[in-house]
Amino acid sequence: MTLENIKLDIDYVRSQFPAFKDPLSKDWSFFENAGGSYVPQNVIEKLTEFMTSTKVQPYAKYPMSKIAGENMDLATDLFSKMINAKNNEILIGGSTSINLYVLSNALKKYINPGDEVIVTNQDHEANISPWLRLKEQGANIVQWKFNLSNQELEISDLEKLITSKTKILAVTHCSNIIGSVNNLKDICKLAHKNNIIVIGDGVSYAPHGFPNVKELDVDFYTFSLYKTYGPHLALLYGKEEILKDLPNQNHEFLNGIYPYTINPGGPNHEELVSLIGIYEYFIKLYDHHFKEKGLSILNKIKKINNLFSKHEEHIANPILKYLHERKDLKLLGKNKIINKDRAPTISFISNVKTSKNISEELVKNKIATRNDNFYAWRCLEHLGINTEDGVVRLSMAHYNTYHETKNVISALEKI
């Protein structure tokens, strides 16, 4: 078998997730992954292990405490390797929304009256509202609007918005409604030519493949770990050269020990340690599918990302095609995933039924989904969609099956 022919072993994948055997969840086709994902056994084990034997204050000399501290450091270390960051460039916070508020507060020092901050109308509110607060520093907020005809954020439009006063650009790597993957690398290139700091929201991107932050050359990047098969935490990456100059927002005596100075307090210890389980799961997947030894963690992740993408194309493209061809439904975003240019996060509305109505019908057919604006209400407003009723969103992860794809299509056919 050549490398190119290797397919994700979906039975093996699903055997790692207890939810697929659990009496409450096992009969459901789960299509709410953009809301939050299931966790593999390794994550549950790490959490249990911490709570059972090392649930003490970490970093003292006695073994329970020493091991607790070592595992907390290990979790950060492994995650930094998985996304190609240094281990002092990573912060673990309660959620992406919290991370971005904390970051915008820290970046205030770069803002003078009259400076400009660019936000998009394709983003989730988490990467808009914190930057609007910079108005208090005298910043003018500029909106980069997506093109209504193809629903994409056009870099040519961004070019027109940039001025010598632009200091910050907050942009999503992938829309949680439209599903498009934005070319963050090119966006960063353009921004950096103009000395602009870029904050990338990777929440809808990372579940489909961990990012390589150095390759993207993004200044800050955040994603929610509870959507990447972990507990309810979120990761914030920042370039060391910027992080070390940010003001201390933690206890006064911690001054200078970045990145601990950015968050006003530490992370949830047990959940942090359970992140080791995500790493273990990915390495298990690598060992199950590939023979090549001696690869770096980053390269193993890259191979797994590619396996995920191929599988996700296979299970999402039939749904995209089906929705695109239904005359009474309007699919948002691209109607096919080609080369990872779209996430399998699929939103649509109907000409005849409300989104609430459709999602309720889908639930009756054991399709776990919902209707909402998913906090990207500016995006929905721009599209002229009722933000109360929102869209129906079918969001998939690598553990969804082709059988579930067929389930959702036959349920849509019925209703």
Ligand X SMILES: Cc1ncc(COP(=O)(O)O)c(C=O)c1O
Residues binding ligand X (CB under 6 A): 95-97, 124, 126-127, 172, 176, 201, 203-204, 224, 234
Taking the C-alpha atoms of residue 203 and residue 228, their distance in angstroms, rounded to an integer, is: 9
SS3 content of the chain, % helix, strand, coil (to 5): 45, 15, 40
> Taking Cα atoms as reference points, which of 207, 220, 269, 206 lies closest to residue 46?
269
Q: Amino acid identity, residue 51?
A: M
User: Which residue's CB is nearer to ligand X, number 80 or number 99?
Assistant: 99
Residue 394: CB atoms within 10 Å: 30
User: Which residue's CB is nearer to ligand X, number 42 or number 172?
Assistant: 172
Q: Please give the structure tokens belonging to residue 351.
A: 């000409």
> Taking Cα atoms as reference points, which of 404, 303, 334, 333 lies closest to residue 32?
404
User: Which residue's CB is nearer to ligand X, number 236 or number 315?
Assistant: 236
User: Which residue's CB is nearer to ligand X, number 234 or number 358?
Assistant: 234
Contact between residue 141 and residue 115 where contact means Cβ atoms under 8 Å apart? no
User: Which residue's CB is nearer to ligand X, number 124 or number 303?
Assistant: 124
Taking the C-alpha atoms of residue 243 and residue 219, their distance in angstroms, rounded to an integer, is: 9
User: Which residue's CB is nearer to ligand X, number 225 or number 329?
Assistant: 225
Q: Could you tell me how many residues make up the chain? A: 415
Look up tokens 């990761």; give the residue.
235
Alpha-carbon distances, residue 199 vs 127, 238, 289, 308, 310 (angstroms)? 8, 9, 34, 25, 28
Taking the C-alpha atoms of residue 6 and residue 310, their distance in angstroms, rounded to an integer, is: 10
3-state secondary structure of 174: strand
Question: Minimum Å distance from CB 90 to ligand X?
Answer: 16
User: Which residue's CB is nearer to ligand X, number 234 or number 367?
Assistant: 234
User: Which residue's CB is nearer to ligand X, number 99 or number 250?
Assistant: 99
User: Which residue's CB is nearer to ligand X, number 16 or number 224?
Assistant: 224
Taking the C-alpha atoms of residue 348 and residue 323, their distance in angstroms, rounded to an integer, is: 8
Q: Amino acid identity, residue 18?
A: P
Taking the C-alpha atoms of residue 29 and residue 19, their distance in angstroms, rounded to an integer, is: 11
Number of H helices, E strands in the chain: 14, 13
Taking the C-alpha atoms of residue 275 and residue 280, their distance in angstroms, rounded to an integer, is: 9
Instruction: List CB contacts of 189: < 8 A, sequence separation 6 or more.
Output: 217
User: Which residue's CB is nearer to ligand X, number 227 or number 300?
Assistant: 227
Question: Minimum Å distance from CB 6 to ligand X?
Answer: 30
Q: Please give the structure tokens belonging to residue 381.
A: 């407003």
Look up tokens 């997730």; give the residue.
17
